[in-house]
Structure 1
Amino acid sequence: MNEILNDEIKRAKELLNNHINDKNNDELSGVDVADCLRVLKKNNEEEYFSYLSRLDVQSLVYSATDMPEHILKDLLTIIPNDKLVNVTKELESDEQLELLEHIQEIDEDKAKIIFDELDDNDKKDILKLSNYDDDEAGAYMQIELFKANLNDSIHQSIQNLKLLKESDEIEHIFKLFAVDEKGVLKYAIPLSDLVINDFSLKIKDVVKKNKEDKFKAIFAHDNDPIEDVVAKFHEFDLSVLPIVDSKGVLVGRITTDDIHEFIQESATEQIYNLVGVDDDAEYEDESIIKASKSRAFWLLINLFTAFLSSAIIGIFDQTIQTYVALAILMPIVASMGGNTGTQALTVTVRRLALGEIEFGDAKKVIKREIGISLVNGLFFALIVGIVSFIWFKTPLLGIVIAMAMLINLGFSGLFGTFIPLTLKKFNIDPAVGSSVLLTTATDIIGFFSFLGLATWILL
């Protein structure tokens, strides 16, 4: 264990040293810098503060949004306000907002100082983005754009692009967004199609030379759910998506980087929520007490549901006393039902998160999952029935557990799909606590069907 830990520390120091010695500071991403600092912070405070002081301000600020709270606190104490302001000015609007929100959680006064020192345009952009809800497309967009009026020439557009790049105002240029006099989005022209034309041509002439549909802009509205934006990126294999307001005026753009980050965060959140765990409490450096509290609520719910399942078993105590083999086989029925339901639940929650399905698709989705569960149920019911017959030399016992297995797996597919779809219908996160409800349902049905059939057939 110590050898593994030493290798981890050595690797973190090596990566940070290479990054510090790289004049272009392209060696590590912000996430990597944050991870390396986390390793050092946990194992060697002295070396941690040494690297914290040696890293350039830009690298530290770029990694700030990926840092745990206690490391960000250290960062804010060693970096002067003026340097924080200067680096923040270089960030794109969405990154500025994200950084200020992280800082505000720790030190509201410092966040206000940084915000007050920004340019008026930066302030305006940040305030605009902050007005969107967290689940709206506008909250994820960048205000900075490469756009041009239809009457502008290609030469003018290229000059504007040059200024944008020289000032580091925008990164990752994929397309030129063509707008009319009112700023309404009309076309999206890839750079490759733009530069092959005569630079004296106007943007509208480039469009006329080609089929109009070639440059048709696929877009989203700023108030659209971010899940709809993710679906469009997948459906049309996009690198960038323009965002417009209710009047069609171009207001921003979302890139693949923004979507990738959202998907990663959503996937992590879904995984934690499926088991009732708060992802904020899962950092290695989080206190045991705080992490325990974050999990206690769903464990308490699970305790009550476990009593409910036990009550079902208590109803059939005489049957179990008569056939002790039932107590041995009960966990098999419950376990198979729980695992089958979890499979259906995981697939459904993922598809809901990606916007592939909604409550209106419930009938089709439920029918499919029940079908899959029943096919597997038939197969495993046959196996368990045969094994039980051979094990306990009781043919009817094999029939009982086979029937119970088929019933439980069928209902597991139903509830594994129905629970998240219903929660989504009522605007409740379909991942939060779904596993607790599912486990309760599959246990109750599994125990009741198995013991009920046993009482009916064997006694």
Structure 2
Amino acid sequence: MNRLEEYLSSHETSEMHPSDIAKILKELEDSDLNEAIKLIPKDLVGDVALALPDRYFDFVVESLSVDELSYAVTELESDDQLEFMQELEEVNENVASQVFEILDEEDKQEITKLQTYGEEEAGAYMQLEVFTAKKNEIVQDVIERFAKLRRANELENIQNLFITDNNAKLQYTIGLDDILIFDFSKTLEQNIELSEDSFEPKSGVDSDNIKTIVHDFKQYDLSVMPIVNSYGILVGRITSDDIYDIINEQATEQMYNLAGVDDEAEEDYEILKAGKKRATWLSLNLFTAIGASFVIGSFAATIESIIALAILMPIVASLGGNVGIQSLTVVVRQLALGEVSKREAKRVVKKEVAISIINGSLFAIIMGIIAGVWFNMPLLGVVIALSMIINFFVAGFFGAVIPLFFRKMNIDPAIGSSVVLTTLTDVVGFFSFLGLATYILL
């Protein structure tokens, strides 16, 4: 608490950053949070709440009155207003309804408009605050109008001027740094015609999938993208900070899915809910493990005859599983980054198979020598070496093919891939090792 008080007293409100305050709050005990949140300047508390993990939102709602929560919403940009209200509804629908009712009509309309978009649509992530001008306006007049709006705090984080026609259709996008070298006495259109630069906008459509927008941001190194509707009318903008958040969310979701964990359940901090979601995947793992056990059981006589097989079996399955996870992780990540097109799918599979065979051959020789010397059975070394090559090949092949197949079926490649792959490497590893042992050693 002392650290928060020290930070607040040593900084002007304009110098404070929500992420700094959020970092301090996360170090406090839960019993101190309500008091701490009340100390935060009311025009920053909304941004601070959104910078904190979801579980802290309960403390925000408990600490602030309806009027204070409403004021916090008004201080946010439109996209953040929507996120704040969604979080508030999840915590307390009654309070959320009261807060919404006392918002001014403009904020209500903006939140309602953004709520019409689906979770995967670009429109759900855009800010409605944009700075626009007509191409026949004098540059000096535009700059003076921008300065007036900025001083009144009606505009924030503006990097671009959007030029629209009389029907609000987007025509040009001009960076503020470009405007500074324009002739202030001429119109925007005259400056554009005299300039050697292109001001054609790289825009997105509000109904586009947000993944398409993220891809365009990365491909064209954008800091902001104007968003238009199906008629080309400018309706908002998406900024790079929103894209960073989306990229982080997608990366987190992929990591959780690869481990068979639900990202939303984990973020809720509810033990039963998270445990139930994990149990679903563990149940599937149980059945696949039973399948692998059946394979082992079918070679019970072989194992009884040569006890060394039981000692070496885990090595074959474990290494094969690791090889498969390596290939799976690489391919899933490349798919997420848009680095693998349909045409390149074969190249990716060939690469992963080649790497697996090379590593398989290397480790087969090493393990073959170790097993032969360890148990004084040269043929046992041959068995485990051949088995490892087979399992490494299968692991590399299916580690690449499974996520590519899932993508073709419009399924998130990260979901369930690891479970399917582990089953394959276990079954193939045990079957090849024990099968070869039965054929060669008995």
Map of 1:279 onto structure 2 = 263
Could you say what secondary structure the match of 1:215 adopts? coil
**Pair 1:210-2:195 in alignment:** yes
How far residue 306 of structure 1 moved from its aligned partner, in angstroms, is 0.7
- The residue that corresponds to 1:194 in the other structure is 179
The answer (yes or no) to whether the contact 2:254–2:414 under 8 Å persists in 1 is yes
- Deviation of 1:157 after TM superposition, in Å, equals 2.0
Q: Helix, strand or coil: the match of 1:187?
A: strand
CA distance in 1, matches of 2:2, 2:338: 41
Code of the residue aligned with 2:164 in structure 1: it is V
Which residue in 1 is equivalent to 2:154? 169
1:225 Cα deviation (Å)? 1.8
Contact 1:337–1:446 (Cα < 8 Å) also in 2: yes
Superposition CA RMSD, Å: 2.3
Asked if the contact 1:344–1:413 (Cα under 8 Å) also holds between the matched residues in 2, the reply is: yes
* Match in the other structure for 2:248: 264
TM-score, normalization: structure 1?
0.89
**Residue 224 of structure 1 corresponds to which residue in structure 2?**
208
Q: Which amino acid aligns with 2:25?
A: L
Question: 5+ residue gaps in structure 2?
Answer: none
Task: Find the partner of 2:406 among 401, 417, 423.
Answer: 423
Q: 2:114 matched to 1:126?
A: no
Contact 1:334 1:446 in 2 (8 A): yes
**Are the structure 2 counterparts of residues 223 and 360 from structure 1 closer, same or farther at C-alpha, using a change threshold of 3 Å?**
farther
Tell me the alpha carbon deviations over residues 381-435 of structure 1, each in whole angstroms, 9 at most, x when there is no partner: 2222222222222222222212211111121122222222222333333222322
Identity %: 46
- 1:152 alignment partner, SS class: coil
Unaligned runs of 5+ in 1: 1-11
Q: Secondary structure at the match of 1:75?
A: helix
C-alpha contact 1:309 1:444 (8 A) present in aligned 2: yes
Q: Displacement, 1:175?
A: 1.8
- Report the TM-score, using the length of structure 2 for normalisation: 0.92
1:64 alignment partner, SS class: helix
Specify the code of the residue in structure 2 equivalent to 1:413.
G
Q: Deviations over 1:46-84 (max 9, x none)?
A: x33332332222332212234455532332233222232
For 1:15 and 1:237, the matched residues in 2 are separated by 37
TM-superposed CA distance for 1:277, in Å, is 1.7
Structure 2 counterpart of 1:48, one-letter code: L
Residues 267-307 of structure 1 deviation map (CA, whole Å, 9 limit, x = unaligned): 12211221122334446x93544432231111111111110
Aligned residues: 442
Deviations 1:66-113 (A, max 9, x none): 445553233223322223222311211100000000001111122222
Q: Report matched runs for 1:150-165 at 5 Å.
A: 150-165=135-150
Distance in 2, matches of 1:395 and 1:16, equals 72
Label 1:326 to 1:68 Cα distance change in 2 as closer, same or farther (>3 A): same
> Mean alpha-carbon deviation: is it higher for 305-314 or for 67-76?
67-76
Residue aligning to 2:11: 22
Residue pairs, 1:282-431, within 5 angstroms? 282=266, 286-357=269-340, 361-431=344-414
For the 8 Å contact 2:34–2:62, the answer to whether it is kept is no
Classify 1:422/1:359 alpha carbon distance in 2 versus 1 (closer, same or farther; 3 Å): farther
Query: Quick check: 2:115–2:124 contact (8 Å CA) kept in 1?
Result: yes
The answer to whether structure 1 residue 136 and structure 2 residue 121 are counterparts is yes
Kept after mapping to 2: 8 A contact 1:231/1:356: no
- C-alpha contact (below 8 Å) 2:35/2:63 kept by paired residues: no
Query: Do the aligned residues in 1 keep the contact of 2:313 with 2:430 (CA within 8 Å)?
Result: yes
